[in-house]
Amino acid sequence: MNPMPLVLGIETSCDETGVGLVRDGTLLGDALASSMDEHARFGGVVPDIAARAHLHALPPMVRTALDRAGVGFGDITAVAATAGPGLATAVQIGLAAGKAYALALGVPFYGVHHLAGHAAVDALEHGPLPQRCVALIVSGGHTSLLLLGDLARDPIIHLGDTVDDAAGEAFDKVARILGLPYPGGPAIDRIAREGDPTAITFPRPMTGPHDPPYGFSFSGLKTAVARWVERHPGPVPVADVAASFQEAVADTLSRKAIAACRTHHTETLLMVGGVAANSRVRALTAQRCTATGITLRVPRPGLCTDNGAMIAAVGDLLVRADTPPSPLTLGIDPSAVLHGAMIPS
Ligand code: KG4
Ligand code: ZN
């Protein structure tokens, strides 16, 4: 048996069934199934459909990840699974499966925080995270600016969060307004390439001098798009609206993230989560980071959206930090706030 730890990671918090195998900061293999197509006609994820799909997809995804990594069940030395936040019925499947694999293999189990996974995954692509950095987590359910230390050991400090919709949620809702398919983020990203980002000046929410500098609010921006579309006579210029909306989001996110880096004297900005896959958010943030001497770390788009490697990456950090595992009595926490890498028991 290889003496190096090998962590199996399982992610089932939304509609992606993700499995990853990580050893010492290296992704050995992963596999991903999605029930996205089954939700498309409802315009959003249906929790019970997602849960049933996880149940079907998980065993074959574990098998595929093992085959791709060239290892067997006997090589696994720890199991990590998302214990929250996410859709309760969906998280439940991955957590139960993770505990069952750990019990059957006689290895420790870690119930991890989904958003810690979004941050940790970048280490698989760009090496160990710096000792300290500002992290912008932008996903379908969350938008937060954080101060990160050692992810496995230190508490996570929230500099600001969204007071209403998350950035990804705004992409999904605006896509719906524009008659684009679910999930809205990739659809807007695609069509915005044919549009003019300066066609319409949508508001940059919470960027006034008296607003919280690191707080976010995207509900008003979504409403501004809806009002503009309602009032517009004739056919809606979908590509221009998409590009202009995307520009407002990219501008707001990057401006606040860079201000946080400067105020907190951090040289690195880590940008993660599904919306970090957006081409304009990436380009504008990179451009502004270069101009201000900040190092931008952002995973490749396939690792920004939900996957199993990110959960294995957290497990790998926890194992290497000698963190005590979770009890097998750990339950799900569908609305867990991000304070650390693990979901407390
Ligand atoms: O991190 P993620 O996969 O799941 C959550 O933890 O929520 O993020 C999903 C969100 C969705 O709202 C989706 O529309 C958005 O990320 N997203 C994007 C892009 N790809 C995914 N938003 C903008 N541009 C993209 N290319
Ligand atoms: Zn996510």
Is the CB–ligand 1 distance for residue 171 below 6 Å?
A: yes
Q: Are 78 and 23 in the same domain?
A: yes
158/134 Cα distance (integer angstroms):
10
Q: Are 79 and 204 in the same domain?
A: no
Distance 165 CA to ligand 1 centre (A): 13
- The two tokens of residue 289 are 């980071």
Residue 144, in any domain of the structure? yes
Q: Are 152 and 291 in the same domain?
A: yes
Q: Are 293 and 315 in the same domain?
A: no
Q: For the CA atoms of the chain, what is the radius of gyration? A: 20
Q: Residue 3: its pLDDT value, please?
A: 66
Confidence band for 4, pLDDT divided at 50, 70 and 90 = confident
**For a substitution probing ligand 1, which of 182, 245, 298, 305 has the most ligand atoms within 8 Å of its CB?**
305
Least confident stretch, 36-50, 203-217, 244-258, 324-338: 36-50
192/279 Cα distance (integer angstroms):
10
Residue 35, in any domain of the structure? yes
Give the tens place of pLDDT for each residue, 61-105: 999 999 999 999 999 999 999 999 999 999 999 999 999 999 999
- Judged against a pLDDT cut of 50, whether residue 159 lies above it is answered with yes
Q: Are 315 and 203 in the same domain?
A: no
Dihedral over Cα of 21, 27, 33, 36: its sign: positive
Q: Are 285 and 313 in the same domain?
A: no
Tell me how many domains the chain contains: 2
Range of the structural domain that residue 202 is part of: 131-299
Mean pLDDT, to the nearest integer, of 128-142? 97
Identify which ligand lies nearest to the alpha carbon of 116. 2
Distance 302 CA to ligand 2 centre (A): 12
Residue 345, in any domain of the structure? no
- Judged against a pLDDT cut of 70, whether residue 2 lies above it is answered with no
Is the CB–ligand 1 distance for residue 14 below 6 Å?
A: yes
Identify which ligand lies nearest to the alpha carbon of 305. 1
Confidence band for 1, pLDDT divided at 50, 70 and 90 = very low
- Judged against a pLDDT cut of 50, whether residue 189 lies above it is answered with yes
138 phi, psi to nearest 5 deg? -125, 105
Give the tens place of pLDDT for each residue, 287-323: 999 999 999 999 999 999 999 999 999 999 999 999 9
Mean pLDDT, to the nearest integer, of 170-187? 96
Q: Are 135 and 102 in the same domain?
A: no
Least confident stretch, 1-5, 108-112, 311-315: 1-5
Q: Residue 309: its pLDDT value, please?
A: 98
303/171 Cα distance (integer angstroms):
19
Q: Are 227 and 113 in the same domain?
A: no
Q: Residue 182: its pLDDT value, please?
A: 87
Q: Are 313 and 283 in the same domain?
A: no
Distance 140 CA to ligand 2 centre (A): 7
Specify the pTM.
Answer: 0.97
- The two tokens of residue 336 are 């867990």
CATH code of the domain containing 237: 3.30.420.40
Mean pLDDT, to the nearest integer, of 139-160? 98
Q: Are 85 and 155 in the same domain?
A: no
Torsion angle of C-alpha atoms 167, 172, 173, 177, degrees rounded to 10: 130
Give the tens place of pLDDT for each residue, 35-62: 999 998 887 899 999 999 999 999 999 9
Report the mean per-residue pLDDT for the chain: 97
Q: Are 96 and 174 in the same domain?
A: no
Mean pLDDT, to the nearest integer, of 204-219? 97
Q: Are 295 and 167 in the same domain?
A: yes
